[in-house]
A and B are shown apart, each in its own frame.
Chain A
């Protein structure tokens, strides 16, 4: 008798391969946990010191600001696309605001020259992209 013989039930065939991959993934994760148990224990032991160190070098404002602005950008584009459907204007308006805010967030020294450059790019960049994609290539934009 062939112990390697396998019959695949067609109704359940969509789960056949994902189950195998899931088991392999679980096994690999278990091996990773065992193989790195010392590092994990060390990390857990020194978690307070490590967290303190990480917190000092982590820029919450710029990281959190990037995430928040991206979420706001996507939500605003989605909402405004109902107001101006199929014109790309929602993309244009939201991108100008998004780029201006993000450039200002990333600026280390907010000198008038740097702010002017950021404003210029925030106004011009999306306009060029909108014109090229929506008008020249006729792509669907939000």
Chain B
């Protein structure tokens, strides 16, 4: 019953609003759940933590789920995580089973979301209990591990590594904070910008610029391509029945588990989750040759996995303070606004907020199911919302969000603008947003943990000898790097062969 203590009607309404807006963002190709959360952050400035979380979790679940609509109907994944949904979803739509494919995807999404919520509920406190015993040494190694994973699963190892380290470097701009044991001196700031950058770049304008403006600049450079107007047929073929899931409980559970596990690893997007689950399904299917031709089990595996990611990505966020993906990285902004520090102590010290997260995550999945399942005929029209109306509205929200992030500082609007341009040109030279932003978020903590470890022990050897946990973390770091080099070597071989 504790879970229901702090629930208010406003909270429930905000979950519904968040889910609906999230579905709109997810269903429009090129826009993502991360963008939905970044753009809507200003709406949370006037709310308390509980109601902010209701809105943001609704946006998150809606944004991830909405991606299946264009993936199935027009063969364009609305979000990267829906890429494998196109493989079987679109062939089904082409033979007149669009509504059936959508509803299979929606039910699988619900299962994935609820599965991951259960895992989150039991696993996050356990991980936090373990992490509470960590000293600065282990905390630094956890961050190092997170960064190596992010880099190793980037499109190109070296690009991911450069992006992550660049993110760390930019996070260090400004004063070395006295509150964290620093000496209060300013660094990495040109003299003429000292007044503005004394506290470094503010997180929210950076996030809004990188995930809001960058996308719109990319679209503008392409001439703002018109929204797809291809006609699509929803029904006509085999109607949807829940019996389609008979014999596929294993498929859905396995895919949900893969999604949740991938979400747990820091910085890895939903596309990795759905691709892994789809490949696994193909390996274990009784009819692997049929996958890719319009098999319901392909849609189930893909959608259960990408929604399984939602709860999984919240596990490291809540228990370690490390975001599981770029969307949860943006959510850190909401916690920062409320003055809350995520990490091992969060659940114990803010039990009510933890219960609110759990309640809202479950509710968001149920609302997502209700909205998408029963109103699918209206939801699909979202694909055709004109971009010339959408993008100016988003940019206005981004600008006001950046300005209000620190109670009205115009420099934050310039930061938003600067990082939007940085994201645009960065993508052109191969930089990746997810490793960059996670490096940016974790950079200052990494500095504190690293420097304090050395100040306390006076030797780099402490990072290798502090405890069995530290040794274990080095093993994980080595495995992660080994996997990364193996992948890079295989890719080189493939490139040479082609």
Contacts and interface: CB of A to CB of B under 8 A. Distances in A.
Contact of A58 (B221, B386, B395, B403): B221
A105 B414 CA distance: 22
Contacts, number: 173
A1 B175 CA distance: 35
Contacts of B223: 59, 62
Q: Which of A36, A66, A114, A138 has the most chain B CB atoms inside 10 A of its CB?
A: A66
A32 B158 contact: yes
Sorting the interface of chain A by its residue count into under 10, 10 to 19, 20 to 34 or 35 or more gives 35 or more
A77 to B, nearest CB: 7
A71 interface: yes
Interface string A74-90: 10011001000000000
B473 interface: no
A46 to B, nearest CB: 16
B495 to A, nearest CB: 10
Interface residues of B, number: 64
B264 to A, nearest CB: 26
A125 B45 contact: no
B175 to A, nearest CB: 8
A127 to B, nearest CB: 11
A41 interface: no
B330 interface: no
B454 interface: yes
A24 B166 CA distance: 10
A121 B162 contact: no
B182 A14 contact: yes
Interface in A82-133: 91, 95, 98-99, 102-103, 106-108, 114, 117-118, 121-122, 125-126, 129, 132-133
B392 interface: yes
Contacts of B216: 66
Interface stretch (B351-359, B360-368, B458-466): B458-466
A65 B395 CA distance: 13
A42 interface: no
Contacts of B275: none
B373 interface: no
Contacts of A71: 417
B172 A18 contact: yes
Contact of B451 (A16, A29, A129, A138): A16
B161 interface: yes
Nearest to A25: B165
Contacts of A8: 451, 454-455
B404 A107 contact: no
A74 B182 contact: no
Interface in A26-85: 28-29, 31-32, 35-36, 57-59, 62-63, 65-67, 70-71, 73-74, 77-78, 81
A106 B216 CA distance: 11
Interface stretch (B277-285, B313-321, B405-413): B405-413
A5 B213 CA distance: 46
A57 B455 contact: no
Contact of A141 (B183, B389, B408, B460): B408
Nearest to B162: A28
B187 A67 contact: no
Given A74-B417, A142-B410, A102 B166 contact: no
A18 B188 contact: yes
A133 B42 CA distance: 8
B450 interface: yes
B458 A91 contact: no
Contact of B392 (A81, A98, A142): A98
B222 A59 contact: yes
Interface string B209-251: 0000100110011111010000000000000000000000000
Interface of A: 2, 4-8, 10-11, 13-18, 21-22, 24-25, 28-29, 31-32, 35-36, 57-59, 62-63, 65-67, 70-71, 73-74, 77-78, 81, 91, 95, 98-99, 102-103, 106-108, 114, 117-118, 121-122, 125-126, 129, 132-133, 136-142
24 contacts: A2-B461, A6-B458, A8-B451, A16-B451, A18-B447, A21-B168, A28-B162, A59-B221, A63-B217, A66-B217, A70-B213, A74-B399, A74-B414, A91-B400, A95-B399, A95-B400, A99-B393, A107-B388, A118-B389, A125-B392, A133-B45, A136-B46, A137-B46, A140-B407
- Nearest 4 A/B pairs, CB to CB: A137-B46, A14-B176, A140-B408, A59-B223
Given A18-B172, A121-B389, 9 more contacts: A16-B451, A28-B161, A59-B222, A99-B393, A107-B388, A118-B388, A118-B389, A125-B392, A140-B407
